[in-house]
């Protein structure tokens, strides 16, 4: 299979076990007491668009959902929709999951977490009611990036790390399209790291799914920017000395307007997070813990398997108290630190637990850093959401404003305007 670079990218053979040592090593945690610093409030920029000032939110503090301010422009939060199940291409009136499957052989290894993500997406699609011909999946390079082949929509299997750049161009020229980006931890955070952060800060109205398996799967198991310190792979035979990226705090740091996390082994939660990402009118960043059973098997089992999941995870819900471990434990805020409290002894109650507010960037920053602390559960759900005009919306407003003032432009006149000169030998 040739990738967009014209190089042959080998898809690992089904069931073939590599000889590299399995993971299962714990990430090296930073010393206790290392806490995140909170961002200064009221730091939002303002931008003039053709003489018009777009309204910006104040300090990212607006609560989400019904409590939040909606974008105002012509494209604000708009997703192309038809009545549910209308194909628009001669398809049957009611679409099903099967209508979104292609005739391509799925070439992931048996047991790969990518299958569950694909199935969940295909199940969700009919419910979204977006015509197939208005839906585009854009990917980079990696096992995860084979996703567009398997979705019966438009798709672009593009260049390594460049899916955000290509999706940006697509949305700028065709804001009416519903664009999903599928990328891996290598694709998005190594070669594509720069493109990712600019997509997020610009708030391009797309959904970005980052399949995080903490490894380069396609190229047979080299360490990635999310691999834990000490990770032994073919490219790090004595253990990685790199400090890893945590995708959620990274996205928050890039001022993403929707940041969430889910896992391949919880299809219900995954579907709910995809649905929420889709309904967001801006760049929606969703990290998905994905098991690569060939090169990094069990990287997330502590959070995904039945015997440990309740104790090691917490599911964030807007307006609800932070309770986990089947109601036995909760989280309270002690100064700027989160503290796990035992709700079974009578000393503490649910009323002592922190109420989650997905509109608070301060809370999102604190909770997203819980991954660093061993004694705290790993959070899943929507960390943060705010309404901010999308890039396409601002661009459209600017074009309309300038056109109203100066009339429709002419490319040939523009090219021949101003100073022109001849270069003579
Ligand atoms: C310019 C370029 N550099 C390197 C590669 C080799 N390469 C292909 S996929 C990949 C990493 C994929 O890892 P990830 O994004 O985590 O995807 P996964 O396979 O784990 O889903 C690399 C380094 C390439 N195809 N093109
Ligand atoms: S991510 Fe891992 S398990 Fe999945 S197809 Fe790639 S190598 Fe195979
Ligand atoms: Mg990967």
For residue 88, the model assigns a pLDDT of 45
Measured in Å, residue 297 CA sits from the centre of ligand 2 at 10
Which atom of ligand 2 lies at the shortest distance from residue 213's CA? 1
pLDDT at 79: 55
User: Which residues pair with residue 340 across a beta bridge?
Assistant: 331
Closest by Cα among 77, 22, 75 to 283: 77
Pairing relationship of beta strands 135-139 and 154-157 according to DSSP bridges: parallel
Q: Which atom of ligand 1 is nearest to the CA of 140?
A: 15
Kindly report the protein residue whose alpha carbon is nearest to atom 4 of ligand 2: 112
What is the mean pLDDT, run by run of 10 residues, along the chain of 425 residues? 37 37 35 34 36 33 32 46 44 81 96 98 97 97 98 98 98 97 98 98 98 98 98 97 97 98 98 98 98 98 97 98 98 92 97 98 94 86 98 96 94 85 84
The closest of 123, 147, 112, 125 to 12, measured between CA atoms, is: 112
Distance 298 CA to ligand 1 centre (A): 21
Closest to 26 measured CA to CA, from 301, 266, 283: 301
User: Which pLDDT score is estimated for 80?
Assistant: 53
Please return the burial class of 87, using the count of CB atoms within 10 Å of its CB with bins 0-12, 13-18 and 19+: middle
The CA-atom distances, in angstroms, between 190 and each of 17, 105, 186, 299, 425 are: 25, 28, 5, 19, 45
Report which bound ligand comes closest to the CA of 213: 3
C-beta of 293 in contact with ligand 2 (< 6 A): yes
- Neighbouring C-alpha atoms within 13 Å toward the C-beta of 163: 37
How many A from CA of 217 to the centre of ligand 2? 5
Whole-number Å distance, alpha carbon 178 to ligand 3 midpoint, is 25
Is the CB of 264 within 6 Å of ligand 1? no
Q: How far is the CA of 381 from the centre of ligand 1 (A)?
A: 27
**What pLDDT is attached to residue 106?**
96
Q: Hey, which of 109, 141, 190, 212 would you mutate to test ligand 1's pocket, going by the most ligand atoms within 8 Å of its Cβ?
A: 141
Contact call for residues 367 and 316 (beta carbons, < 8 A): yes
Could you tell me the domains of the chain?
Answer: 97-320+356-385 (3.40.50.970), 321-354 (no CATH)
From 293, 298, 299, mutation site for ligand 2 pocket: most ligand atoms within 8 A of C-beta: 293
114 touches ligand 1 (CB under 6 Å): no
Ligand 3 centroid from CA 217, angstroms: 5
Distance 79 CA to ligand 3 centre (A): 29
328: Cβ below 6 Å to ligand 1? Answer: no
Nearest Cα neighbor of 155 from 175, 174, 130, 182 is 182
**Is the CB of residue 213 below 6 angstroms from any atom belonging to ligand 2?**
yes
How many angstroms does the Cα of residue 231 sit away from the middle of ligand 1?
Answer: 18
Residue nearest to atom 26 of ligand 1 (CA): 160
Give residue 422's pLDDT. 83
Pairing of strands 135-139, 178-184: parallel
How far is Cα 147 from Cα 18, in angstroms, rounded to an integer?
23
C-beta 5 within 6 A of ligand 1: yes
Determine the pLDDT at residue 41: 35
- The pocket of ion ligand 3, defined by CB under 5 A, consists of 184-185, 213
What residue's CA is closest to ligand 2, atom 7?
A: 217
């Amino acid at each position: 299979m040739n990738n967009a670079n014209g190089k042959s990218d080998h898809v690992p053979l089904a069931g073939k076990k590599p000889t590299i040592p399995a993971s299962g090593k714990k990430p090296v945690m930073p010393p206790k007491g290392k806490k995140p610093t909170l961002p200064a409030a009221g730091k939002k920029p303002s931008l003039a668009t053709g003489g018009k000032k777009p309204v910006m939110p104040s300090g990212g503090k607006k609560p989400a959902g019904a409590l939040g301010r909606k974008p105002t422009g012509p494209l604000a939060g708009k997703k192309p929709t038809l009545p549910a199940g209308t194909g628009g291409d001669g398809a049957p009136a009611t679409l099903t999951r099967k209508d979104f499957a292609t005739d391509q052989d799925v070439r992931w290894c048996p047991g790969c977490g990518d299958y569950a993500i694909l199935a969940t997406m295909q199940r969700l699609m009919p419910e979204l009611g977006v015509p197939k011909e208005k839906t585009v999946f854009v990917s980079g390079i990696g096992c995860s990036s084979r996703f567009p082949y398997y979705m019966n929509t438009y798709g672009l299997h593009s260049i390594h790390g460049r899916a955000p750049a290509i999706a940006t161009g697509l949305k700028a020229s065709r804001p009416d399209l519903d664009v999903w980006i599928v990328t891996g931890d290598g694709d998005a955070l190594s070669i594509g790291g720069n493109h990712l952060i600019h997509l997020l800060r610009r708030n391009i109205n797309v959904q970005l799914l980052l399949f995080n398996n903490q490894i380069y799967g396609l190229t047979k198991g080299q360490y990635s920017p999310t691999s834990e310190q000490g990770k032994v792979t073919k490219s790090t035979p004595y253990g990685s000395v790199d400090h890893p990226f945590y995708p959620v705090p990274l996205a928050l740091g890039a001022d993403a307007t929707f940041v969430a996390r889910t896992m391949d082994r919880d299809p219900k939660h995954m579907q709910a997070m995809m649905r929420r990402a889709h309904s967001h009118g801006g760049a929606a960043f969703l990290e998905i813990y994905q098991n690569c059973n060939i090169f990094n098997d069990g990287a997330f089992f502590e959070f995904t398997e039945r015997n440990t999941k309740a104790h090691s995870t917490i599911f964030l819900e807007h307006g609800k108290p932070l309770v986990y471990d089947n109601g036995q434990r909760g989280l309270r805020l002690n100064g700027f630190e989160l503290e796990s409290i035992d709700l079974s002894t009578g000393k503490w109650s649910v009323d002592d637990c922190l109420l989650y507010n997905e509109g608070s960037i301060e809370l999102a920053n604190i909770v997203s850093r819980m991954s660093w602390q061993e004694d705290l559960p790993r959070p899943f759900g929507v960390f943060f959401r705010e309404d901010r005009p999308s890039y396409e919306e601002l661009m459209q407003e600017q074009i309309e404003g300038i056109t109203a003032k100066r009339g429709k432009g002419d490319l040939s006149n523009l090219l021949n305007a101003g100073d022109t000169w001849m270069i003579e030998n």
